[in-house]
Structure 1
């Protein structure tokens, strides 16, 4: 996500910146060292206990990626293979702000931005592939699809006859219904999940003069959350009239109870509350779409803080789950989809190195453990932007092969197109742990220095996958595992800082992890 391409996320940042029986598994050191030992004195071992208590059900298609249409590399011949190799099971048709300018007919085109051409440059981020090309890539990659429909602008909003304040041309539920018909009735693409709009809470319904920011394109005269909710009900009814089997979601901001009182975030919490309590909304929709960039809003950007931020996942999602259940009542469950996620909204070198890789593994599992059904990482391909330290950052899993657009001398450029960054490798480990779906299990980690985290998944095929992550950049971390009775180690996948791919070890599981490393221990009964 270059700065040019991701002003909508920067807008979000600006808006809020102001503001059973168990047995101890006998483990011996792995045949490989799993990284060099530190010269520091040895640390005490952490105790990891995996229970039989499920915390969430995980589908076989829970892990996906966003594929913004302004990046052309989705249609490269090698892309489906890279998607399959990573174990990615969902592709999201989401381009950020331009999604609310996008019309799927005639190969795809954009309306003019009702906020003007200088509003984040959204109207210049033209589609580089059609919806049908997107669907073909998904088919070739054996992946499902999720689609954001245009809430902001209608099909009559053209360059020749643009929307104006006097004569607005907002998004039209009939166009969204036509898209469902085209996808699922005409072409049988079987798109189940659809979302109304994209980060609509940043459409300008509130502003902060001290922190001016681009607005999400929205030509509706009434930009209030209640208006969005009423319109979303109309969208859902029109779309489900075409295909009753689909699920429709709405845009939500994941407010943190610890900071919801701050000016910027209090307004976003007001959005959520107003949307959720609009009559008919809770029964009309099936899930909310949250964008998970929580480290950005903590105000702490050092490596240790970014990696520690996953501890904030549980309280945020607990509060959100309570809000959804109060609104919907016992007869209708509103799901939670994390339609975007990354270690931050601003490009940093962290996103392409070990910090981003370990964050992806830890954060995705934390989200799933706490009730999220689907997660779409931002993004498959994105593109680089210059960082304050003179380098570049890219929120994509794969290189776009570019030099940062905002780095005048172009001294630091990316590797060739399609080269995997470090987070791609830990995504492979994540999807191995989750292969075929299953259930996340309650897990605790005690003792040790506090930089070791663990997660567990009981896969549908009976395999127990234990994921252990060492967030210490310098110190190897020993650990002991306590598991439900009867399991024995089959194999272990490991990755550490500097590795170009995960390594598979057969036999006994590790008892120590190298600095900045992770292991997926697969066990059978």
Structure 2
């Protein structure tokens, strides 16, 4: 299969497999043009944007070393009590209703809050919808915010509730003990949860579980439904919620596919904003988008370098598109799969950022709490931005290099460059508008293949850099002497990305396909062609006219397995 890339007006054909689609022949170092418009704002870095998932099954969540690693990585939000485990967890008794076995005594709510405080992270809690009640959730709000004074602001109502079996053959991965598992019932109960919880603390923000636009079961209608999940839920509960929740596991059959998926985020955001505007009216601008699970699960690379590059790129792209929270799955996760080799590196097929020290296929992970490359991909963000800094417009003229830029509160300009080629260095040429960088060598903070830490050095200039293969390099630029840098950046015009992301025909699938490992949620080529013409926030010149080979795992064997692994391992 061939995939078409459009660079300006020139179409280039590249093989869809391997790394050829991202880079020329081995040894070449093409010059990639990078443009930074420091005068055009894409919004500010959210105060608690960089988050991690933590589960009630993770007995090492609160270890001093683990807390220190999270704090150093700039983690400012922790999600609790888990993914699918949240819909069986009873916070008051610290028990699991699915009989999943032993639960560590040091992972109850108060222990979790002590960990969040040490890390300096805001909690986001998932109320038990699957086997809980509005009263149980309201009691949790009272205990957290009235009795203990924790001031927990963000509350999700359930986890991936659309996975309760309502779609397909009735077999879902998510616990839901309601007799009626339809989106109509979830919408009605969502209103009841919101009313009960806000009666205790009117300041809490309530989140609605939505399907990710373009991914199964988005646009599905089961027998008896009059509309799909998102339209049904929001038509009932739009006035009772404060944020919407999606999960982002774009997958990919190759590492190239994974590394190209951030270009889809603009389309997902556009669809969500259209839904929010349709059902929340004058409140639409204040309704937030939270990506409470995000990761490389379902792709070939989960702990190796490609996943690290994906992490940096996807966090920043979501922030540029207005998401207020992005939480990586997972802190510790473990694995039941044998490790693989991805571009010469061992990939432990573990969704966590720190090793759980588990063994599979006769091979064991590194010692517990060893940071995987994904951890360093997230930690690289600390060199680029701090909460409150201003993200500014930037673009790359070649898909092999991604770029993100941020005006720091101190007047400097930081530029993150991500070289997606596993074999080739990339020569980049940078130009600036609205900012004049100082001459001479610049401070760079980098993370390259094989590194076990971030490296700070003086290297290259503000206008020319050579990026190592498979690397993340952040330039920390100071304004030229006698200049004040840029004036306050002005907001960028609202991106005009077509919506919906894909047609209904591109989002259907059957449970049989899922259980047989078929790509259930893959958009059809006709529905993606032209829809995702740029990175949106970055306005990249490179465009994609097809996403050949993209494996979607919003449903299907990979996601179902992920749900089972959560209960068996640290994620619960």
Please tell me the TM-score bracket, short chain as reference: 0.7 to 0.9
- Indicate if the aligned counterparts of 2:218 and 2:228 stay in contact, CA closer than 8 A: no
Q: Deviations over 1:100-139 (max 9, x none)?
A: 1111113x01124xxxx7xxxxx34745511111111111
Distance 2:437 2:287 in 1: 35
**Structure 1 residue 304 corresponds to structure 2 residue 262:** no
**Structure 1 residue 524 corresponds to structure 2 residue 510:** no
* 1:316–1:442 CA distance, 2 compared to 1 (3 A): same
- Indicate if the aligned counterparts of 1:282 and 1:334 stay in contact, CA closer than 8 A: no
Equivalent residue, structure 1, for 2:65:
78
Distance 1:362 1:96 in 2: 23
Equivalent residue, structure 1, for 2:189:
231
Alignment of 1:138-217 (within 5 A): 138-153=116-131, 171-208=132-169, 213-217=171-175
Give how far 1:306 is off. Answer: 1.0
Equivalent residue, structure 2, for 1:457:
406
Distance 2:29 2:356 in 1: 42
Give how far 1:423 is off. Answer: 1.1
Q: Which runs of 4+ in 1 moved over 6 A?
A: 261-264
Q: 2:466 aligns with which of 483, 506, 512?
A: 512
**Structure 1 residue 321 corresponds to structure 2 residue 270:** no
The count of aligned residue pairs is 442
Equivalent residue, structure 1, for 2:524:
none
Give how far 1:472 is off. Answer: 0.8
- Indicate if the aligned counterparts of 1:198 and 1:251 stay in contact, CA closer than 8 A: yes
Give how far 1:49 is off. Answer: 3.0
Give how far 1:71 is off. Answer: 2.2
Distance 1:88 1:252 in 2: 25
Equivalent residue, structure 2, for 1:291:
247
- Indicate if the aligned counterparts of 1:470 and 1:477 stay in contact, CA closer than 8 A: yes
Q: 1:47 aligns with which of 34, 53, 56?
A: 34
- Indicate if the aligned counterparts of 2:52 and 2:79 stay in contact, CA closer than 8 A: yes
Equivalent residue, structure 2, for 1:62:
49
Q: 1:274 aligns with which of 213, 218, 232?
A: 232
- Indicate if the aligned counterparts of 1:325 and 1:334 stay in contact, CA closer than 8 A: no
**Which shows bigger deviation, 224-233 or 38-47?**
38-47
**Which shows bigger deviation, 132-141 or 44-53?**
44-53
Q: 2:435 aligns with which of 460, 485, 491?
A: 485
Distance 2:391 2:50 in 1: 14
Q: RMSD between aligned alpha carbons?
A: 2.6
Q: Report the secondary structure of 2:111's partner residue.
A: helix
**Structure 1 residue 500 corresponds to structure 2 residue 449:** no
Q: 1:335 aligns with which of 266, 279, 288?
A: 288
Alignment of 1:459-474 (within 5 A): 459-474=408-423
Give how far 1:463 is off. Answer: 3.4
* 1:383–1:258 CA distance, 2 compared to 1 (3 A): closer
- Indicate if the aligned counterparts of 1:384 and 1:414 stay in contact, CA closer than 8 A: no
Q: Report the secondary structure of 1:175's partner residue.
A: helix
Q: Report the secondary structure of 2:61's partner residue.
A: helix
Give how far 1:176 is off. Answer: 0.6
Equivalent residue, structure 1, for 2:206:
248
- Which stretches in structure 2 are left out of the alignment for 5+ residues? 1-24, 342-346, 480-572
Q: Report the secondary structure of 1:205's partner residue.
A: coil
Give how far 1:293 is off. Answer: 0.5
* 1:478–1:125 CA distance, 2 compared to 1 (3 A): farther
Q: Report the secondary structure of 2:436's partner residue.
A: coil
Give how far 1:268 is off. Answer: 13
- Indicate if the aligned counterparts of 1:381 and 1:399 stay in contact, CA closer than 8 A: yes
Give how far 1:431 is off. Answer: 2.9
**Structure 1 residue 392 corresponds to structure 2 residue 341:** no
Q: Report the secondary structure of 1:394's partner residue.
A: coil
Q: Deviations over 1:348-384 (max 9, x none)?
A: 5x11111000000111111111121110100111112
Equivalent residue, structure 2, for 1:444:
395
Q: Deviations over 1:251-270 (max 9, x none)?
A: 11111289967899xx9981
- Indicate if the aligned counterparts of 2:129 and 2:176 stay in contact, CA closer than 8 A: yes
Distance 2:377 2:79 in 1: 20
Give how far 1:81 is off. Answer: 0.8
Q: Report the secondary structure of 2:166's partner residue.
A: coil
Equivalent residue, structure 2, for 1:22:
none
**Which shows bigger deviation, 77-86 or 353-362?**
77-86
* 1:184–1:132 CA distance, 2 compared to 1 (3 A): same
Q: Deviations over 1:163-205 (max 9, x none)?
A: xxxxxxxx21111111011111111212111100111011122
- Indicate if the aligned counterparts of 1:48 and 1:479 stay in contact, CA closer than 8 A: no
Q: Report the secondary structure of 1:384's partner residue.
A: coil
Q: Deviations over 1:427-471 (max 9, x none)?
A: 11113322133232221112x4x3011111223443322111000
Distance 1:201 1:465 in 2: 40
* 1:427–1:42 CA distance, 2 compared to 1 (3 A): closer
